[in-house]
């Protein structure tokens, strides 16, 4: 029996000719990632191991992005632990405030994640790098500690689900709508500990930013990882960004999949996930039909590791240009990295946002996890381009989060209610 793309990568890094779903293997790692929440825990566990130093200072990335710039003494202390560890072990890829960004946008931008690699991170959205044809997945902090010491970890080889994409997205529909559509179909445990493998002619019609967004939210369907084939667009991206060689793996024709789903991109509509799970999806058309008076909101967040890239900001600016945020509405826009921030300045996007009445934040995960820069009070509603809308995720347990694309979020900020961007832009 043949192997899937994920299984081929794992077999190669385990030094095995082949692997099968369910098999336990030890795998060599190409990159180990931690942030200011998870890395300090890993560092404490690493120090207990008394191994002297890390397995490879060039294969560890430390990114303080969740509570930075530091919002309080506790967050400053966590970052200090990371900073001292990075200096002590001469970690090559430690990114201080001013050069950092949201980790899952920053590392591909820096060329540190490439096709064919096995990448783990003490953050569940590490699966983002599957957009580049890598096996990437989140782990716990103790697993990160062991990985920093040994350069290895173990996996149970995941079974796979194939998503065959056809067609082309309509205007105002993006990768965020695609993944919300899929999660709405299969549920938040529909791909539990499985590899979501995206194939088909429709892949070529998705931008790299679309693919990053889709792979990023594979975990919201319970998946171990999400992964895309390495096509011309991927190679073009890697050739521009990569700082190291990459290897292309392709699935065998007789690879085994637990399920196969056909996804026609042309029929996907702008989609919103209602509280309190990403599977609670409705299209903008269903929202209009079910809520004739609209769903009034208090805040909009455009950013995060899911949708804070330059393409996302361009779409938001296209909607907001010449318009004003609704009276009483708060709209917070967060470029995902310093490079994206600078590019947005040069393109005049930040001017558009400020003139519309939005505020601009430096790169941070802050509001996504209810940390800072946009915490919600009781009874407030937020449309966010983030990836999770669990109870209390962005603040008070009685607040509500509606997940959406940058286009829907920006249109909703102008209207003050959840809005179809097609109608606003007509």
CATH number of 5-265: 3.30.499.10
Handedness of CA 77, 81, 86, 87 (dihedral sign): positive
In a structure prediction context, what are the per-residue pLDDT tens digits for the chain, which is 426 residues long?
Answer: 799 999 999 999 999 999 999 999 999 999 999 999 999 999 999 999 989 899 999 999 999 999 988 989 999 999 999 999 999 999 999 999 888 899 999 999 999 999 999 999 999 999 999 999 999 999 999 999 999 999 999 999 999 999 999 999 999 999 999 999 999 999 999 999 999 999 999 999 999 999 999 999 999 999 999 999 999 999 999 999 988 999 999 999 999 999 999 999 999 999 999 999 999 999 999 999 999 889 999 999 999 999 999 999 999 999 999 999 999 999 999 999 999 999 999 999 999 999 999 999 999 998 988 888 999 999 999 999 999 999 999 999 999 999 999 999 999 999 999 999 998 887
Can you give the pLDDT at residue 298?
97
Can you give the pLDDT at residue 61?
97
User: Residue 383: beta bridge partners?
Assistant: 300, 402
Can you give the pLDDT at residue 423?
85
Can you give the pLDDT at residue 425?
84
- Global pTM reads 0.95
For CATH 3.30.499.10, the residue range(s) in the chain are 5-265, 271-425
Domain 271-425 belongs in CATH node 3.30.499.10: yes
Can you give the pLDDT at residue 68?
86
């Amino acid at each position: 029996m043949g192997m899937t793309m994920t299984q081929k990568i794992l077999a190669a890094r385990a030094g095995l000719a082949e692997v099968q779903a369910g098999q336990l293997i030890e795998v060599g790692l190409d990159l180990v990632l931690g942030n200011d929440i998870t890395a300090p825990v890993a560092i404490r566990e690493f120090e207990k191991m008394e191994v002297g130093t890390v397995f490879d200072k060039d294969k560890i990335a430390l990114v303080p992005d969740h509570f930075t710039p530091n919002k309080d003494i506790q967050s400053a202390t966590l970052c200090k632990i990371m900073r001292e560890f990075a200096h002590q072990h001469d970690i090559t890829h430690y990114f201080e405030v001013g050069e950092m960004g949201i980790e899952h946008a920053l590392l591909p931008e820096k060329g540190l994640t490439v096709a064919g690699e096995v990448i783990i991170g003490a953050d569940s959205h590490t699966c983002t790098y599957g957009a580049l044809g890598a096996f990437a997945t989140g782990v716990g902090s103790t697993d990160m500690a062991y990985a920093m010491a040994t350069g290895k970890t173990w996996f149970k080889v995941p079974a796979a689900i194939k998503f065959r994409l056809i067609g082309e997205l309509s205007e105002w529909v993006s990768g965020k709508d695609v993944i919300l559509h899929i999660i709405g179909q299969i549920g938040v445990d529909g791909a539990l500990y499985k590899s979501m493998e995206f194939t088909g002619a429709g892949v070529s019609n998705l931008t790299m930013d679309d693919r990053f967004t889709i792979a990023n939210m594979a975990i919201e369907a319970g998946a171990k990882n999400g992964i895309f084939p390495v096509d011309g667009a991927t190679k073009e991206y890697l050739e521009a960004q990569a700082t190291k060689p990459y290897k292309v793996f392709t699935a065998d024709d007789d690879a085994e999949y637990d399920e196969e789903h056909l996804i026609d991109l042309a029929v996907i509509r702008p989609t919103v996930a209602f509280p309190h799970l990403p599977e609670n999806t409705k299209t903008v058309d269903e929202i209009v039909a079910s809520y004739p008076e609209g769903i009034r909101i208090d805040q909009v967040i455009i950013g995060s590791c899911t949708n804070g890239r330059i393409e996302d900001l361009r779409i938001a600016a296209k909607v907001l240009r010449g318009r004003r945020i609704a009276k009483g509405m708060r709209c917070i826009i967060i470029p995902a990295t310093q490079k994206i921030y600078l590019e947005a300045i040069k393109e005049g996007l930040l001017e558009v946002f400020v003139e519309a009445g939005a505020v601009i934040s430096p790169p941070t995960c802050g509001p996504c996890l209810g940390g800072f820069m946009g915490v919600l009070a009781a009874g407030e509603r937020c449309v966010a381009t983030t990836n999770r809308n669990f109870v209390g995720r962005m603040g008070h347990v009685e607040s509500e989060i509606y997940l959406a694309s940058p286009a829907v979020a920006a249109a909703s900020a102008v209207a003050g209610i959840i809005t179809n961007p097609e109608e606003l832009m007509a």
